[in-house]
Amino acid sequence: MTNCKITILPANKRVTVPKGTVLLQAIQQAGVHIESACGGQGVCGQCRVKIEEGRYNTETTTQLSGQECAQGMCLACLTLVEGDLTVSIPRLADWEKAQILEGEGGVTLELGHWQINPALKKVHLKLPPPSLDDNLSDYERLRRELHRRGFPDRHLHCELPFLQKLGQVARQHHWEVTVTLIQSDTVVDLIEIEGGDVSQHRFGLAIDVGTTSVVVHLVDLVTGKTIDVASSYNAQAACGDDVITRIIYSQKADGLIRLQKLVIDTINRLIEEVSSKHRIDFQRIDSIVAAGNTTMTQLLLGIDPRYLRQDPYIPTANSFPMIRAAEVGLRVNSHASIYCMPCVSSYVGGDITAGVLRSEIYKQEPLTMFIDIGTNGEIVLGNKDWLVAASCSAGPAFEGGGVKCGMRATSGAIEQVRIDAATFEPTVRVIGQGKPVGICGSGIIDGLAQMLMAGIINRKGKIYTDLGHERIRVADGIPEYVLIWAKDSATETDIVLNEVDIDNVMRAKGAIYAGFRTLLIEVGLNFDVVERFLIAGGLGNFLNIESAVAIGLLPDIPQERFKYIGNSSVIGAYLALVSAELREESERIANSMTNMELSVSPAFMEEYLSALFLPHTDLSAFPSMREKLEQEYS
Amino acid sequence: MTNCKITILPANKRVTVPKGTVLLQAIQQAGVHIESACGGQGVCGQCRVKIEEGRYNTETTTQLSGQECAQGMCLACLTLVEGDLTVSIPRLADWEKAQILEGEGGVTLELGHWQINPALKKVHLKLPPPSLDDNLSDYERLRRELHRRGFPDRHLHCELPFLQKLGQVARQHHWEVTVTLIQSDTVVDLIEIEGGDVSQHRFGLAIDVGTTSVVVHLVDLVTGKTIDVASSYNAQAACGDDVITRIIYSQKADGLIRLQKLVIDTINRLIEEVSSKHRIDFQRIDSIVAAGNTTMTQLLLGIDPRYLRQDPYIPTANSFPMIRAAEVGLRVNSHASIYCMPCVSSYVGGDITAGVLRSEIYKQEPLTMFIDIGTNGEIVLGNKDWLVAASCSAGPAFEGGGVKCGMRATSGAIEQVRIDAATFEPTVRVIGQGKPVGICGSGIIDGLAQMLMAGIINRKGKIYTDLGHERIRVADGIPEYVLIWAKDSATETDIVLNEVDIDNVMRAKGAIYAGFRTLLIEVGLNFDVVERFLIAGGLGNFLNIESAVAIGLLPDIPQERFKYIGNSSVIGAYLALVSAELREESERIANSMTNMELSVSPAFMEEYLSALFLPHTDLSAFPSMREKLEQEYS
């Protein structure tokens, strides 16, 4: 078997693979992040690379033009390695370490009016040494002391490794020890014993395990303060962009194991990053709370997610037992406990429970709609008396998927667009330094709204190709609007929005809006009575509310009712990390949420079809837009 | 490094070891059982072997005569392998598979008046399949059904591997499953899920983990019947004969790990024996109860026992958490739970708790003394209202240790001795077929009593060397009585009892009797009020009560008060295996027993010194013996 050396630019990483290896796998094996929304099916076109040098064998694809192929462009998933290769990944120079931007003002999360009282405790004990008169066994001596401290004796429980250490640690430290324990409803689990007083050294992690990105907060469990935050892409992205592709991937041989390993590796790298930066021994991290959607949670735990996408869409569990870090391979203290935020259903996960916890709608009077828009749109409606939840599949458009020049909200992404209605000339704002690379969700929404207002597209999303402007053209039979000329672009190609992109975005926004409407219809209400509209998640960060209303993604209600609440998933996880009460609250919240299957509601399809206009078929539901459109077209 | 081939006779086992290896290790490595009471210190003389052929290097020792050395005899622990060797182990031809004889009439244990209700249950469930209307998660669906069956929902708990299997098993078997669970006071632990109805296939093990021997009962948990019993030496014997030597051995590098492995290997061989014989898949064994003294229990669990022999003699724990078989490497279902019978103190262990459970003294009116005599003598005194426990170190005399021709109660052991007072000629009864090999505990007690009654020894244990009988002689300066001539012996050497042996036995019986007395003194009672005297353990099996009273091991009370109750350790373990209630009862028993440290009682030394006569300094305490002795000497 011949081996081939692959060099990957610009990261300049090297890897050796057998001849005949699929190039996508070689690149992943080298640890270089490459997008592959379709999981290597040759469909999404995201894994395009340029072969700078060497022998390869590739399939033709409609994703690439003849000219591109001639330049050595190919899809890594369709290319076999035939000899030593030098490959460059042209799209994003900084994919290697993409910055997931945080919605929060700073890195410090605060507990607010809650008392810090983590479920994980380190209890410092000075035990009376044994004597012939006081000859309790070591373990009973410890239990007696803990009982005195208010831990109910009959709930105390430990495992064998704890006992194996107990005798020696206690005597070596003259019966002064620190016991790490986790208190839950029915059990106090003694998980670690150390000599002396180390009760002031305890750290935890609040983790948002997103389909796209993973965010880790390192938290000092004594002060309750976040020490640092790190984030990165979820390395599972190499196996598919959304939960459905991941579930399909999990059914391959070793697919589940690989997906679990990829997300654990991602988290471990982030743990290493934050703990080494602050010189915190990873062994001192002994409590973890993870929030993710149901698929992400099951994959994290190595639980086969296949039934999530089979009618009637049943998760293995919504509430998970506390597990030990060693069981999944997280690089923290091996005894550390992992608590997963409880899920509600197959498509309303722990991230939403965390969001509801963070938003506090479960204990407030005003009727609130909570939304988290990504590949799926999850919606919670209710207040302190009742909560209903639903989800609808939006597709990847708001994450930049299915959009020719789409990308995630990272450096180089156009996140804001203004188009002069007179000249059709755009101005854009780009995340980070440098030239634009592509357009992220908020930019796409902005662009669409601006094209509508400028009269470049009609309410059906069709481009007026007869406007006689150089930016408005037809390429390969598809009408498009050029947002950035190649000379001003980091990719040296034109950045455009075309009719296919627009169609995808309209279907995405239509599904989300139909979700809002259907949920309201199911409970017999309408938008008027929704007093607050909380927007969570990455999209909300740069979202221009006016544009979102303009295209009919959000309802046309008074702007002051909208509020962006940041990455409420990780904040909720943080709350459950630092407060045992809020952890129990999470369980109550998840239990109390009624799940609605929108797809089986008769109203949904009708609402969806009505929403496939800009902003909507029924302009009376968008009075402010009606006014504007009338002005524009007057 | 040169390798040497070692052939071990009569087992005809072969092993290859590097030149310079200690022969004892080579023999152990070959899997051949060899006694080594001192743990390889060259002190006990038990590991004597004969080199039939080959080069070796040995140290001189007082344990062997010059003649023996000339014949190629040596101690394996003092001998280095210098080339290929053929070695024979002369003492016991059937050590390889020694039969530990059972005190019980048959192998079947019965539960008697208790209901069978094992802590481990297999619950067969037919779950309603999920639908859009009944869309609980798999785990909640299971919990709901278990809750209907009376298992409190808030107590239900499972671990990750359970969830990882749940979805697939349930669907593959159309929602008909069998759940294995363990119910304790505060938690119902779901440990396994299988498809279909396998609730009628569940097996458990009741294990007596003795210092000397290990007994395993394979039990059908549906019927409560013992299917078979197997027993063998505890392979730890290679590391020392008694708990003290084992504790010392455990402090060597890897000593603890090795001791744990040896006993686990012993148990695994017995499991293999009984399960393969009855074609029972070892995966179907999922509940184990082990009863052992405190040292054996800690070694089984890999808990450092060193503090057991350090003042103030504190065990790590008396009550142990339920552990999984996989944690210690027992070859049964890896999820199987192991429950260790709770201990009372460093020297009153789970075997005694099991014995008290079996004896039922904890719930009966009559004041009872329960004794288990081995290397240690453990004593429990009390009734349904109170229980006190104590232990005293007897030394290995009753197990055949420290006695020149002593051996355990296995095939070839003289277990009964009668000596004609007129002719001084003995008659003996031997265990099993064939010529005698040595004398076991009951034979030694019998021999001593008979020598006393026949006037061969005086009340100080000294042999009258002037009786002018060929069986009474002085060898190497030590007076001895020849019980079996070389021509009638399996070892082709004379089997004798000498004054050193007698001295050791007197000190052993003195310690035990002093223990009885001191315990009674501490609670302000005397033998007259002890209504029952229950004798447990191996020694009791062949023990002649009259002889035991004659030498002052047992008190001189009416014979009908004595009762032999067999291996109450394994019977108690069996009861805790088949009845959850009795398992909880065990915990209450262990908690309720007050431990007495006899060694710190001022009375003990005085009682001990008074007991160093045959039967006792104070003949008035032995009225029946006084009478007999007066007859003999009249």
Asked if the model's pLDDT at residue A473 lies above 80, the reply is yes
Q: Does B301 touch chain A (CB under 8 A)?
A: yes
Tell me the average pLDDT across B125-149: 94
Q: Is residue B111 part of a domain?
A: no
pLDDT in tens, A63-77: 777 777 888 888 888
CA A544 – CA A453 distance, rounded (Å): 14
Greatest Cα-to-Cα distance within chain B, rounded to the nearest angstrom: 101
Where are the strands (E) in A307-385, listed by range?
Answer: 323-324, 337-340, 368-373, 376-382
Q: Do residue B187 and residue B249 come from a single domain? A: no
Q: Do residue B220 and residue B328 come from a single domain? A: yes
Give the closest-approach CA distance of B633 to chain A in angstroms.
47
pLDDT band at B12; cut points 50, 70, 90: confident
**Residue B85: which CATH number?**
3.10.20.30
Tell me the average pLDDT across A356-366: 93
Q: Is residue A115 part of a domain?
A: no
User: Using CB atoms, which residue from B135, B138, B327 is nearest to A345?
Assistant: B135
Query: Does B319 contact A140 at a Cβ distance shorter than 8 Å?
Result: yes
**Interface predicted TM-score (ipTM):** 0.80
Question: In the prediction, which pLDDT does A103 show?
Answer: 35
Percent over 70 (pLDDT), chain A: 94
Of B195, B230, B250, which residue constitutes the final position of a domain? B195
Query: Does B137 contact A317 at a Cβ distance shorter than 8 Å?
Result: yes
Of B284, B310, B340, which residue constitutes the final position of a domain? B340
Q: Show the DSSP H helices in B130-242 as ranges.
A: 138-148, 160-172
Structure token digits, residue A364: 């407030």
Asked if the model's pLDDT at residue A265 lies above 90, the reply is yes
Per-residue DSSP letter, B579: B
Q: Is residue A165 part of a domain?
A: yes
Using left for φ > 0, alpha for ψ between -120 and 50, and beta otherwise, residue A384 falls in alpha
Q: Do residue B263 and residue B218 come from a single domain? A: yes
Asked if the model's pLDDT at residue B224 lies above 90, the reply is no
Q: Does A265 touch chain B (CB under 8 A)?
A: no
pLDDT band at B212; cut points 50, 70, 90: confident
Region of poorest pLDDT, from A11-15, B176-180, B378-382: A11-15
Of A440, A463, A497, which residue constitutes the final position of a domain? A497
Question: In the prediction, which pLDDT does A111 show?
Answer: 55
Q: Do residue B135 and residue B212 come from a single domain? A: no
Q: Residue A249: helix, strand or coil by DSSP?
A: helix
Q: Do residue B366 and residue B484 come from a single domain? A: yes
Q: Residue A80: helix, strand or coil by DSSP?
A: strand
User: Using CB atoms, which residue from A307, A319, A323 is nearest to B167?
Assistant: A307
Handedness of CA B157, B162, B166, B172 (dihedral sign): negative
C-alpha Rg value of chain B to the nearest Å: 27
CA B630 – CA B634 distance, rounded (Å): 6
Q: Is residue A73 part of a domain?
A: yes
Q: Does A294 touch chain B (CB under 8 A)?
A: no
Query: Does A315 contact B138 at a Cβ distance shorter than 8 Å?
Result: yes
pLDDT in tens, A566-598: 889 999 999 999 999 899 999 999 999 999 988
Residue A321: asked if its preceding bond is cis (omega within 30°), the reply is no
Q: Which residue of A has its CA nearest to B339?
A: A160
Handedness of CA B304, B307, B309, B314 (dihedral sign): negative
Dihedral in degrees, nearest 10, Cα atoms B291, B294, B300, B301: 110
Q: Do residue B509 and residue B605 come from a single domain? A: yes
B427-to-B397, B407, B443 alpha-carbon distances in Å? 22, 18, 11
CA angle B331, B336, B339 (to 5 degrees): 105
Q: In what order do the strands lie in the sheet with A438-439?
A: A426-430, A413-419, A438-439
Q: Give me the number of domains chain B comprises.
A: 4
Beta-sheet pairing, A156-158 with B413-419: unpaired
Question: In the prediction, which pLDDT does A99 show?
Answer: 31
Region of poorest pLDDT, from A318-322, B100-104, B539-543: B100-104
Q: Does A323 touch chain B (CB under 8 A)?
A: yes
Asked if the model's pLDDT at residue B375 lies above 80, the reply is no
Q: Do residue B155 and residue B70 come from a single domain? A: no
Q: Do residue A530 and residue A390 come from a single domain? A: yes
- Tell me, letter by letter, the H, E, C secondary structure of B84-118: EEEEECCCCCCHHHCCCCCCCCCCCCCCCCCCCEC
Contact list, B140 vs chain A (CB under 8 Å): 317-319
**Residue A191: which CATH number?**
3.10.20.880
Dihedral in degrees, nearest 10, Cα atoms B77, B79, B85, B90: -50
Tell me the average pLDDT across A236-249: 91
C-alpha Rg value of chain A to the nearest Å: 27
Query: Does A314 contact B166 at a Cβ distance shorter than 8 Å?
Result: no
Q: Do residue B480 and residue B427 come from a single domain? A: yes
Give the closest-approach CA distance of B596 to chain A in angstroms.
10
Matching residue, tokens 């009370």: B557
Phi, psi of B90 (to 5 degrees): -80, -20
DSSP assignment of B378-413 equals: EEEEE-SS-EEEEEEE--GGGGTTTSTTB--SSTTE
Phi, psi of A308 (to 5 degrees): -65, -30
User: Using CB atoms, which residue from B160, B168, B314 is nearest to A138?
Assistant: B314
Residue pair B292/B212 in contact (Cβ under 8 Å)? The answer is no
User: Using CB atoms, which residue from B155, B167, B317 is nearest to A137?
Assistant: B317
| Buried b / exposed e along A182-199 (16+ C-beta atoms within 10 A) | bbbebbbbbbbbbbeeeb
Per-residue DSSP letter, B185: S
Where are the strands (E) in A367-466, listed by range?
Answer: 368-373, 376-382, 387-393, 413-419, 426-430, 438-439
Matching residue, tokens 């610009």: A10
Residue pair A10/A89 in contact (Cβ under 8 Å)? The answer is yes
pLDDT in tens, B384-403: 999 999 999 888 888 888 89
Q: Do residue A183 and residue A228 come from a single domain? A: no
Residue type, B284: R
A142, A316, A522, A599, best to mutate vs chain B, most B CBs in 10 Å: A316
Where are the strands (E) in B19-91, listed by range?
Answer: 48-58, 73-75, 79-88
Where are the strands (E) in A493-611, listed by range?
Answer: 495-498, 532-536, 562-564, 593-596
Q: Is residue A293 part of a domain?
A: yes
Query: Does B138 contact A185 at a Cβ distance shorter than 8 Å?
Result: no
Q: Does A131 touch chain B (CB under 8 A)?
A: yes
**Residue A275: which CATH number?**
3.30.420.480
DSSP bridge pairs for B125 = B177
Structure token digits, residue B501: 């042996």
Query: Does B316 contact A138 at a Cβ distance shorter than 8 Å?
Result: yes
Where are the strands (E) in A420-527, listed by range?
Answer: 426-430, 438-439, 472-475, 478-484, 495-498
Q: Is residue A351 part of a domain?
A: no
A104-to-A107, A108, A425, A566, B397 alpha-carbon distances in Å? 7, 9, 33, 6, 77
pLDDT in tens, A46-56: 788 888 888 99
Residue A555: asked if its preceding bond is cis (omega within 30°), the reply is no
Dihedral in degrees, nearest 10, Cα atoms A40, A42, A45, A50: 80
Query: Does A303 contact B185 at a Cβ distance shorter than 8 Å?
Result: no
Q: Is residue B352 part of a domain?
A: no
Residue pair B198/B286 in contact (Cβ under 8 Å)? The answer is no
Beta-sheet pairing, A213-220 with A188-195: unpaired
Q: Does B323 touch chain A (CB under 8 A)?
A: yes
The CB density around residue A517, as the number of other CB atoms within 10 Å, is 23
CA A355 – CA A379 distance, rounded (Å): 11
Query: Does B138 contact A316 at a Cβ distance shorter than 8 Å?
Result: yes
CA A618 and chain centroid, separation: 33
Residue pair B350/B481 in contact (Cβ under 8 Å)? The answer is no
Q: Which residue of A has its CA nearest to B324?
A: A160
Contacts of A105 (CB under 8 A, 6+ apart): none
pLDDT band at A497; cut points 50, 70, 90: very high
Matching residue, tokens 């690149």: A27
Q: Which residue of A has its CA nearest to B315?
A: A137
Q: The domain containing residue B269 runs over which residues? A: 203-340
Question: In the prediction, which pLDDT does A97 show?
Answer: 29
pLDDT in tens, B560-611: 999 998 889 999 999 999 999 899 999 999 999 999 988 888 899 999 999 9
Tell me the average pLDDT across B40-67: 80
Query: Does A135 contact B317 at a Cβ distance shorter than 8 Å?
Result: no
Handedness of CA A357, A362, A363, A366 (dihedral sign): positive
Residue A312: asked if its preceding bond is cis (omega within 30°), the reply is yes
Q: Using CB atoms within 10 Å of the CB of residue A114, give its burial: 0 to 12 exposed, 13 to 18 middle, 19+ buried.
A: middle
Residue pair A139/A127 in contact (Cβ under 8 Å)? The answer is no
Q: Do residue A386 and residue A526 come from a single domain? A: yes
Q: Do residue B376 and residue B425 come from a single domain? A: yes
Mean pLDDT of chain B: 89
Residue type, B2: T
Beta-sheet pairing, A323-324 with A3-9: unpaired
CA A450 – CA A425 distance, rounded (Å): 11
The CB-side HSE value for B443 (13 A sphere, CA atoms) comes to: 30
CA A165 – CA A190 distance, rounded (Å): 12
Matching residue, tokens 């597990």: A323
Q: Is residue A97 part of a domain?
A: no
Q: Does A209 touch chain B (CB under 8 A)?
A: no
